[in-house]
Amino acid sequence: MKFFRLRYLNAIIGLVILIVIVGAAIFAPMLAPFSPERMFTGPRLSPPSWAHLFGTDTLGRDMFSRVLHGARLTLYVGFIAVTIGVVSGTIVGMIAGYAVGWVRGFLMRCIDLLYSFPEILVALALVAFLGPSLDNAMIAVGISRTPFFARVIYSVVLVERSKPYFDSGRVVGAGPVRLMLRYLLPNIIPPLIVVASLGFSTAILAAAGLSFIGLGAQPPAPEWGALLADGRDNMRLAPWLMLYPGFAIILVVLAFNLVGDALSEYLDPRQRWRR
């Protein structure tokens, strides 16, 4: 019994963190004492104090305000990237799973090709060619996750299409589009939710990484990865500058991981398709 409660606990911790962070993101303008971009709100590089909970950066901007506003960016980035990845992955995966012959062969070959690269590398390469910006980073991260989502969806579709209900749909004369949307899609949704929630954490980490090396969010955007890059330049003088954005990233990613784990246990006890 203890076992079950502990599992539960993890999910609750994750949910609570998520709610807090989403709340912080929504109400950031009200909660933040300063505008994230206002300079010289206090002395430069001042350590954490009551006036500046997380201290100030080189330009005297309030770190607490910046981290709070960063939550908006981070969640937004995660959401868009996951949406891009999930939508494109589902389309590719469903077509690959539904089609036969060379279409499937070609699609899966492409997916496997991309999948054999580490995702962060695919994202890096894409963003290098698209040009450094937060929007491009989101797109790149989304696309870099597509092969993973596509593979998951592909394997689920393969299982689902071998079940009797699929054949019965075919027998009553449903066309391919109808078969995919009305018969396959509803059954794909549970695993989709799980990979999407776990995908959030990967996407956020990847986007933060891109911003950190200067290929994502551009200054003065208070994206957490970019804040870390700022902090890096002053890490000896003001180590707190890189501490708080880091904690923020860990919290969000941890929350998504905990919720995703709990969801996957709840929705799919076998976890076959998980890495």
Considering only 102, 172, 269, 275, the residue that binds other proteins (CB under 8 A) is 275
Give min distance, CB of 266 to other proteins, in A: 13
Extract the tokens encoding 223: 């994206």
Residue 133 within binding range of other proteins, rule CB under 8 A: no
Compute the distance between CA of residue 65 and CA of residue 230 in angstroms, rounded to an integer.
15
Determine if 213 is a binding residue for other proteins (CB under 8 A). Answer: yes
Q: Is 257 in the site for other proteins (CB under 8 A)?
A: yes
Among 42, 190, 220, 246, indicate the residue that binds other proteins (CB under 8 A): 246
- For the chain, the residue count is 275
What residues are paired with 62 via a beta bridge? 56
Nearest Cα neighbor of 195 from 121, 266, 273 is 273
In whole angstroms, give the CA distance from residue 85 to residue 147: 8
Q: Which of 208, 217, 221, 263 binds other proteins (CB under 8 A)?
A: 208
- Tell me how many residues contact other proteins (CB under 8 A): 47
Q: Please give the Cα distance from 52 to 61 (Å, whole number).
A: 9
To 10 degrees, the CA torsion angle through 106, 110, 113, 114?
Answer: -170
Among 46, 197, 201, 264, binds other proteins (CB under 8 A): 201
With contact defined as beta carbons under 8 Å apart, do 206 and 144 qualify?
yes
155 counts as binding other proteins under rule CB under 8 A: no
- Using CB under 8 A as the binding rule, whether residue 92 contacts other proteins is answered as no
254 binds other proteins (CB under 8 A): yes
Contacts 24+ apart (CB under 8 A), 52-56: 54/240, 54/244, 55/238, 55/240, 55/241
CA angle 221, 226, 231 (to 5 degrees): 120
* Residue 105 binding other proteins, by CB under 8 A: no
Question: Counting contacts by CB under 8 A, is residue 131 touching other proteins?
Answer: yes
Instruction: Please answer whether residues 156 and 191 qualify as being in contact, where contact means their C-beta atoms are separated by less than 8 angstroms.
Output: yes
Task: Give the range of 22-30, 40-48, 148-156, 254-262 binding other proteins by CB under 8 A.
Answer: 254-262
Query: Considering beta carbons, is residue 38 or 232 the nearer one to other proteins?
Result: 232
- The reply to whether 129 sits near other proteins by the rule CB under 8 A is yes
Q: Is 263 in the site for other proteins (CB under 8 A)?
A: no
* Whole-number Å distance between alpha carbons of 267 and 271: 9
CB of residue 179 vs other proteins: minimum separation in angstroms?
31
| Chosen residue from 22, 45, 99, 130 binding other proteins by CB under 8 A | 130
Q: How far apart are the first and last CA of the chain?
A: 28
- Nearest residue to 198 via CA among 147, 255, 142: 255
Site for other proteins, residues 217 to 236, rule: CB under 8 A: 225, 228, 231-232, 235-236
Q: What does the binding site for other proteins look like in residue numbers (CB under 8 A)?
A: 1, 3-4, 6, 10, 113, 116-121, 124-125, 127-132, 201, 205, 208-209, 212-215, 225, 228, 231-232, 235-236, 239, 242-243, 246, 249-250, 253-254, 257-258, 261, 271, 275
